[in-house]
Amino acid sequence: MELSQLPLVFLLISNIYSEQTEERLKPRVIIKPDQHVFRGETVTLRCDIYDEGVTSWRYFWYKEGLGRVFSDGQELTISSVTESDSGEYSCDRFNGSKPSPRSDEVTLTVSDPKSVLSVSPQKWLTEGDPVTLICEVHNFSTGWTFSWFTLTESPGGYHLLSDSSRGAGGRYRISSAAVDHTGVYVCRAEREKSSYKTQYSNTQLLWVTGVSAPVSLRVSPSRTQHFTSDSLSLSCEDQSNSTVWRVRTYTDLWGLKDCSSIPRGSHTGSTCTISYVYTSLIGVYWCESESGEKHHPVNITVHSEVILESPVHPVTEGDSLTLHCLYRYTNLSNLRADFYKDGSLIQNQTTEMIISPVSKSHEGFYSCKHPERGESPKSWISVSGFHSESQISVLSILSSVLAACPYLLVTVVLIFKCCRMRAIS
């Protein structure tokens, strides 16, 4: 090697040594328990160094977007993180003469996932029907346990179900629904091996109708959809007059309420009158006794211009069903509209839609649409089985006749023999 090349070699060796020294002095950020955590958890960031023998260093922390030092300890602890703590963090250290190289940035992500509750196959049930409540945490499918609650009337009141462990897998199954399963349900997810819990989920109203009810809810005008600013009357009719009934409601805005407790609502006996209907009153209304017995739910919908005139209570199989499209600003009954079931067009440009006879297959969400005035909300039309009382009476008559047949036959034979013996004598 020529002497003229020695300075270059020494320069290369010096650069390599300087890079190795700088790399050795460059700290790194370590995040515990993880770089991706959940709201409310405790996170510790440590500015780690290779040269542990040096104890006189001071440490400085930086966060992307702040542009300044905000802590001077080797460890930075955030006791209850929120989404605002998400970001890229870095650190360096200073021994009194010059700072070390700054560390590479490390990203901390804080999430606050939501619990989402749904019902399968539907939330309007008859005694004995199966139903499943499904709780999910979107984008985070594993590592959760679930709790199930019913909503109480007190503000923010949640009642933990005693058998909520059945929902450990995200599903709360009821194999045979009973009337007392009626209620407003929510769920909540808890992270395994962590103290993190999601907020309460959206609400789902589960309604179970008894096979025979002592009371019925009469709605006037007799339909489930109503125009804004109109008046509305709901009455609990008990033929026996043996129980005091009140009209109760659940709406997204007001929650669980007595009908008289909502704005513009008043109670007289078992009748609730709403003097001015508005969209915040959209919800479910039912009759409830003093003991908490619930019957005959009706889903009331409010719209400004176009509504569907549909029956308040389930239609019986074999009966006829007639639907009309109503418009606030006209009394004409010959205006034509399109009718839809579950979002699909089933009849177009007609003044009314008639289904006869009705069967279970006709259950679904119905709406109507006028090309100029707009579309109505959707209403669920339920179809019930044949009248149980008629079936019972027919069966009882048949069974009585069949049971009496042997005795009638013996009686006829005996009468015939007696008449014959008289004729001989």
- pLDDT one-digit tens code per residue, 56-99: 678 889 998 776 677 778 899 998 899 999 999 999 888 766 77
Examine the fold and report which residue of 188, 208, 228 is the final residue of a domain before the chain moves on: 208
Q: Which has the minimum average pLDDT: 10-19, 188-197, 358-367?
A: 10-19
If one counts the domains in the chain, the total is: 3
- Residues 240 and 366 reside in one and the same domain: yes
For residues 298 and 340, state if they share a domain: yes
7 within domain boundaries? no
Question: Is 138 found in the same domain as 88?
Answer: no
CA distance 219 to 247: 11
Last residue of a domain, one of 186, 208, 230: 208
Within-domain flag for 308 = yes
Report cis status (omega within 30 of 0) of the bond before 377: no
Residue 301 to residue 279: CA distance in whole angstroms: 8
Q: Provide the residue range defining the domain that includes 43.
A: 19-111
Same domain, 99 and 135: no
pLDDT band for position 412 (cuts 50, 70, 90): very low
Q: Do residues 93 and 59 make contact, with C-beta atoms less than 8 angstroms apart? A: yes
Give me the amino acid identity at 124: W
Whether residue 355 sits in one domain with residue 223: yes
Q: Which of 133-147, 213-227, 234-248, 387-401 has the highest mean pLDDT?
A: 213-227
Residue 277 domain flag: yes
Query: Does 100 share its domain with 198?
Result: no
Residue 266 maps to a domain: yes
Query: What pLDDT does 393 receive?
Result: 39
Per residue in 97-116, pLDDT (tens digit) is 677 788 999 999 999 999 99
pLDDT tens digits along 16-63: 434 444 555 789 999 999 999 988 889 999 998 775 555 667 888 999
Is residue 391 pLDDT above 60, yes or no? no
For the CA atoms of 11, 13, 19, 23, what is the dihedral angle to 10 degrees? -160
Residue whose tokens read 């979107």: 138
Residue of higher predicted confidence among 410 and 325: 325
d(CA 86, CA 108): 5
For residue 389, name the pLDDT band (cuts at 50, 70, 90): very low
Q: Nearest-CA neighbor of 210 among 246, 236, 238, 179? A: 179
Q: Is the domain of 236 the same as that of 315?
A: yes
Residues 330-353: tens digit of each pLDDT: 766 667 899 999 999 999 999 899
Highest mean pLDDT among 8-17, 273-282, 380-389: 273-282
Q: Residue 401 pLDDT more than 50? A: no
Is 102 exposed, middle or buried, given 0-12, 13-18 or 19+ CB atoms closer than 10 A? middle
Return the CATH number at 301. Answer: 2.60.40.10
213, 179 contact by CB (below 8 A): no
List beta partners, residue 28: 48
Residue 250 domain flag: yes
**53: in domain:** yes
If pLDDT is split at 50, 70 and 90, which confidence band does 377 have? very high
Q: Is 203 exposed, middle or buried (0-12, 13-18, 19+ CB in 10 A)?
A: middle
Task: Check whether residue 144 and residue 274 sit in a common domain.
Answer: no
Give the 3-state secondary structure of the chain: CCHHHHHHHHHHHHHHHHHHHHHHHCCEEEEECCCEEECCCCEEEEEECCCCCCCCCEEEEEECCCCCECCCCCEEEECCCCHHHCEEEEEEEECCCCECCCCCCEEEEEECCCEEEEEECCCEEECCCCEEEEEEECCCCCCEEEEEEEECCCCCCEEECCCHHHHCCCEEEECCCCHHHCEEEEEEEEECCCCCECCCCCCEEEEEECCCCCEEEEEECCCCEEECCCCEEEEEEECCCCCCEEEEEEECCCEEEEHHHCCCEEEECCEEEECCCCHHHCEEEEEEECCCCEEEEEEEEEECCEEEECCCCCEECCCCEEEEEEECCCCCCCCCEEEEECCEEEEEEECEEEECCCCHHHCEEEEEEECCCEECCCEEECEECCCHHHHHHHHHHHHHHHHHHHHHHHHHHHHHHHHHHHHHC
Among 233-242, 270-279, 387-396, the least confident range: 387-396
Check whether residue 78 and residue 135 sit in a common domain. no
What confidence score (pLDDT) does residue 309 get? Answer: 94
pLDDT at residue 419 tops 90: no
Mean pLDDT over 196-211 rounds to: 87
In this structure, the answer to whether residues 55 and 199 fall within a common structural domain is no
pLDDT of 153-201, one tens digit each? 776 688 898 777 666 678 999 999 988 898 899 999 988 767 788 999 9
Mean pLDDT rounded to a whole number for the chain: 81
Decide which of 173, 208, 243 is a domain's last residue.
208
Query: Is 353 part of any domain?
Result: yes
Tokens of 237: 């009719």
Specify whether 154 is located in the same domain as 88: no
Do 310 and 175 lie in one domain? The reply is no
- Residue 101 belongs to a domain: yes
Residue 291 scores a pLDDT above 90: no
